A and B are shown apart, each in its own frame.
Chain A
């Protein structure tokens, strides 16, 4: 396959960026999207240009590092991560636009690399169970209904890639935050911190400059792990419950 790539190039956080156009040839449909970018970068290095910077690591769809907006879609046309997108999803002669996540809470570091540390700070605000090492009771002391365990797992699958934020017209992080709130709040182990968790995480989310949710639903459509939109409803319920409870105290 022969392709034209229009790629966002930006020297560093402070520099102006712009789209640059490149041609790549001999692309196999079996290549992943990132392997196609590897081909471009090898070409650029040999011609004395700087390769395109992009985040990637496991290349098997689980670490959450890769993060490209491809033809306007976070992670491209398939519902998966960029590293698991294959060139068979494109056609010979296509022109492909490649941009970084666009959100004010995710500033660009270089080219296609953005700073997602705001997500870490949301987790730090309450996305955990306080269980110091060594303090745990026997694992079977507290049975968890299978339905609750499955519900927790399905939310815990979030890989923290940020596609939800990139896809959202408001740059909201509601889906990311709600995934962790739902994962921990449904479990008996998470119950003692149920209220503080949701209140603190939502407060941090707002402080990071993420937008509000208007139920556009783009986040859930872009999520490579299929975290459902109703997850946000669950978080809102938890937040209201916690707020009312705090008011009664």
Chain B
């Protein structure tokens, strides 16, 4: 049986979301969730993998509640998790601007922005919690931008018409992460969190059907060890690095979520990847990563390309009437602030028409000349100074003088481990939070919503719902390293590491990663077709096969070995990529970040097909290269009725 002959299994349903009015569901769930007596909490150990916004805030909060937290990150310090690189801001329905915002509007915008592929219950909860997040972060000393009167400033972001995005210059992620890191540090000092930096999770330990621990490698000594707990929380981020080039950090990886998937956790909507419209174009084959320019730049920058094909004149010599401000032309009411998926695809279209700018024609202009004339250079500098400096440094071009050149790049993955309303995966005792889960953004995430979701999950949702799981399973039998299930996972992990070292072939880990990434970008990137996806699905097993024959990893496993770390992550990318392509192949509609060329409206917009695809696709693993089993979760829209999105 080939990989594409997947079977459809029993539907999966979210058994934890209460019924009733959407605005009362979270209160109801919190009340119905069982509690753990404060005195008993210290008897429970919870493992948290990752220290970004979701993991950092969850670790700190669980420890404050009295649980014993054992936490891991591959970085040398929990402060370096990639949430730190988020630039633009965080949404919250505070309505401080009195501009008509409300919890319901944030809920509505997020469901619509996600192209009607997210769960209403989850999104409404997210919108409700958004206001508490801002309070929490301010109390921690997060230095948000403020007005002269001392109150918090906000700005607007793509896909919405209110100003609800709180920010700290272009470094909002950094400031929020440091807030969570500092809260976590306080708990580490208090002895409530046992922190393991430079330690990477390599597998999940499941005993009697429950998540009971992880296998992890100390990246300094190379020692592979087991760690046990009463529940395991994965906060290990997204899987955008499957594409090799993305805005993710170099070491961000999919191993934790993929290994959990192999142990029974369903993986939902893997094809929903977000291609961010405003990144710095690549300069050559040496490129190791792509750098985002915050979407907030679209508030004041105007996007354009020359009207004529192959116009190589410098931008200053192209007169106004020979420029095509294509977003403003096609989408007059949202203009440059259309959602990310739409802006990215529009950029691809004009470049495909031969009107792209810069080397290789893979770029469009983001021009601040009008903004500088309207508000003065100083005001532009105050708003975007650090972003302009960053652009200048990378490209050696001064964006105050010449327009920026931007092009879309892989940025975020909406797909992830399937979780219920409690953020629990299909493996009891295994929770997934932040970008690692699939829950809140549907097929497209709106700007400034990732920070909101990561912190909502970590500070507020998980700490409430994990109580229920631990209260219902108060006396789990102790697991030790001698348990046969533990021995088996440990042996598999050691075998994999030893095999990687033993092949001693003639190709580097990076060469495989690049090859896979190029394949994925071409066939599972901004536009996908049946034939392209089938090509990729034919090629991936061949690359995998070649990988295991030709990989070369120098050094040993018993030492600091960055090549080994990379190679081991690629093993998982080579399987996950296949599932992403299959998911993209099976979803023969276009929605959000997933654009199938076969499914478009006469004017080239994405055509969703609700009657067939209003579901989340949760895939069950059946073996490497074996056809997985599809479980559908039907999505019900009681409040925000699906319409074809219009930003015109």
Contacts and interface: CB of A to CB of B under 8 A. Distances in A.
Interface stretch (B173-181, B410-418, B536-544, B574-582): B173-181
B183 A128 contact: yes
Contact of B139 (A34, A131, A145): A131
B94 interface: yes
Contact of B289 (A11, A59, A65): A59
Contacts of A42: 508, 510-511
Nearest to B506: A46
B635 interface: no
Interface string A134-167: 1111111011111001101100110110000000
A116 B141 contact: no
B82 A50 contact: no
Contact of B463 (A115, A133, A139, A142): A133
Interface in A21-68: 28, 30-32, 34-35, 38-39, 42, 44-46, 48-51, 53, 55-65
Interface in B168-223: 168-169, 171, 174-175, 178, 181-183, 185-186, 188-189, 197, 220
Contacts of A61: 390, 393
B390 A60 contact: yes
Given A49-B554, A117-B197, A124-B188, A189 B138 contact: yes
A241 interface: no
A44 B64 CA distance: 47
A159 B560 CA distance: 24
Contacts of B186: 124, 128, 130
Contact of B175 (A120, A131, A144, A153): A153
A135 B510 contact: no
B77 A160 contact: yes
Given A58-B84, A86-B393, A35 B286 contact: yes
Given A28-B286, A30-B284, A189 B141 contact: yes
Contacts of A96: none
B286 A115 contact: no
Contacts of B506: 46
B257 interface: no
Contact of A183 (B143, B150, B189, B463): B143
A73 to B, nearest CB: 16
A190 interface: yes
A53 B140 contact: no
Given A84-B394, A190-B141, A127 B77 contact: no
B182 A129 contact: yes
A119 B77 contact: yes
Given A38-B510, A133-B57, A156 B76 contact: no
A125 interface: yes
B79 interface: yes
A65 B74 CA distance: 12
Nearest to B92: A139
Interface residues of A, number: 78
Given A61-B390, A109-B560, A144-B150, A124 B141 contact: no
A133 B552 contact: no
Among B84, B141, B152, B178, max chain A CB count under 10 A is at B141
B135 interface: yes
B390 A133 contact: no
A127 B76 contact: no
A65 B139 contact: no
Nearest to A60: B291
B284 A136 contact: no
A65 B75 contact: yes
Contacts of A160: 77, 79-80
A46 B138 CA distance: 51
Nearest to A184: B141
Contacts of A150: 143
Contacts of A49: 554
Contact of A59 (B80, B171, B288): B288
Contact of A58 (B64, B85, B171): B85
Nearest to A67: B76
B551 to A, nearest CB: 10
A91 interface: no
A45 B508 contact: yes
Contacts of B79: 64, 120, 123, 160
Contacts of B96: 140
A86 B169 CA distance: 25
B165 interface: no
Contacts of A78: 393
Contacts of B463: 133
A88 to B, nearest CB: 6
A86 B283 CA distance: 12
Interface string A100-131: 00000000011001011101100111011111
A137 B289 CA distance: 40
10 smallest beta-carbon distances between A and B, as pairs: A143-B150, A128-B182, A136-B139, A153-B143, A124-B189, A131-B139, A136-B135, A152-B143, A30-B283, A139-B138
12 contacts: A30-B286, A35-B287, A45-B563, A58-B250, A62-B84, A78-B393, A109-B220, A117-B76, A128-B186, A136-B139, A146-B146, A152-B141
Given A28-B283, A51-B563, 7 more contacts: A45-B554, A49-B554, A64-B79, A116-B76, A123-B181, A131-B139, A144-B146
